[in-house]
């Protein structure tokens, strides 16, 4: 299991008292998971050694780009733990917890679930995992998501995969997948694609400038597309797991 104590930014003094309390509690959680390590205080933040830095991959792409299928292949081939922000939110709703009720009400009101809530669910899954390799599917969707993740988790992704698929191909896939989803109609699909472009392209451009974005031409067979993905993780010397 990887464990890490996130550093507090010097700008924390500008936050509200309640936010500071939440952040301190989050730090205490990380600290309790780290055994036999002395925490050194430096300036206004806390810095502690970590057993092993997690290898984090973000997977981005429009609806119908095939990123979900490729996530399965990455997990099977390289032994990553797959985390889907949407699945985590739905699971929290099904648990009927206080956060789940809040998430459901937020969605019903047509509002966006606060980034902090989504990041907290991702963080919880990472903390409880014995793995140190994570592939996070469909996240961050927005610049706010990205900033919140880096603020609370305290690290940037090692790899950001962007499955770049022609719009006509995504539309065709969504119309043909026959999963019974009410949003799989042409008008709604077009809207979803527009929303993706407006919200996610700034994130993609940011990571492109950071130098950790890998664009995958997401047209062709599943295996053809994966052959573009495989060398990326091989370059990083990510250990393989035998495929059963």
**Could you tell me the fold of the domain covering 55-240?**
Rossmann fold (3.40.50)
Distance between CA 168 and CA 216 in Å, rounded? Answer: 17
- The answer to whether 75 touches 153, Cβ cutoff 8 Å, is no
Residues flagged as binding site for a ribonucleoside 5'-phosphate: 90, 111-113, 138-141, 181, 192
Which residues make up each annotated binding site for CMP?
145
Residue 113 confidence (pLDDT): 87
For residue 178, the model assigns a pLDDT of 56
Burial class from Cβ neighbours inside 10 Å (0-12, 13-18, 19+) for residue 163 reads buried
Helices of type H across 40-141 = 67-78, 85-94, 98-108, 115-127
Counting DSSP H helices and E strands in the chain, the numbers are 9, 7
> Where in the chain do CATH 3.40.50.300 domains reside?
55-240
Q: pTM of the prediction? A: 0.72
The C-alpha atoms of residue 57 and residue 49 are separated, in whole angstroms, by 22
Helix axes 167-176, 186-210, angle to 10 degrees: 130
Whole-angstrom distance, CA of residue 200 vs CA of residue 202: 5
Q: Under a CB-based contact definition with an 8 Å cutoff, are residues 37 and 4 in contact?
A: no
Q: Please give the chain's pLDDT, 244 residues, in tens.
A: 444 333 333 332 333 333 334 434 443 433 333 333 233 333 333 333 446 789 999 999 998 999 999 999 999 999 999 999 889 999 999 999 998 999 999 888 877 789 999 999 999 999 999 999 999 998 999 999 999 999 999 999 999 999 999 999 999 888 887 555 555 678 888 888 888 888 899 999 999 999 999 999 999 999 999 999 999 999 887 765 434 4
What pLDDT score was predicted for residue 227?
96
Predicted pLDDT at 191? 86
pLDDT for 237: 77
Residues within the annotated binding site for ATP? 64-69, 177, 220
List the binding residues: 64-69, 90, 111-113, 138-141, 145, 177, 181, 192, 220
166-172: list long-range contacts, CB under 8 Å, 24+ apart.
166/219, 167/62, 167/193, 169/64, 169/218, 169/219, 170/62, 170/63, 170/64, 170/65, 171/64, 172/64
């Amino acid at each position: 299991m990887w464990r890490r104590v996130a550093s507090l930014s010097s700008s924390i003094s500008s936050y509200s008292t309640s936010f500071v309390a939440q952040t301190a509690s989050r730090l205490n959680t990380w600290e309790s998971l780290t055994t036999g390590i002395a925490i050194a205080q430096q300036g206004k933040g806390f810095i502690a050694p970590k057993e092993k830095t997690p290898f984090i991959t973000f997977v981005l792409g429009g609806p119908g780009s095939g990123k979900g299928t490729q996530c399965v292949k990455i997990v099977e081939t390289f032994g990553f733990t797959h985390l889907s922000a949407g699945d985590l939110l739905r699971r929290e709703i099904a648990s009927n917890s206080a956060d789940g009720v809040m998430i459901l009400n937020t969605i019903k009101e047509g509002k966006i679930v606060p980034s902090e809530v989504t990041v907290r669910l991702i963080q919880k899954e990472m903390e409880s995992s014995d793995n140190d390799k994570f592939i996070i599917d469909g996240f961050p969707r927005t610049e706010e998501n990205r900033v919140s993740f880096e603020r609370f988790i305290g690290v940037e992704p090692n790899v950001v995969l962007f499955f770049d698929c022609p719009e006509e191909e995504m539309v065709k896939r969504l119309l043909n997948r026959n999963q019974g989803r009410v949003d799989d109609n042409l008008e709604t699909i077009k809207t979803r694609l527009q929303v993706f472009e407006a919200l996610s392209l700034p994130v993609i451009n940011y990571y492109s400038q950071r130098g950790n974005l890998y664009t995958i031409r997401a047209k062709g067979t599943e295996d053809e597309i994966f052959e573009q993905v495989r060398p990326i993780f091989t370059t990083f010397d990510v250990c393989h797991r035998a495929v059963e």
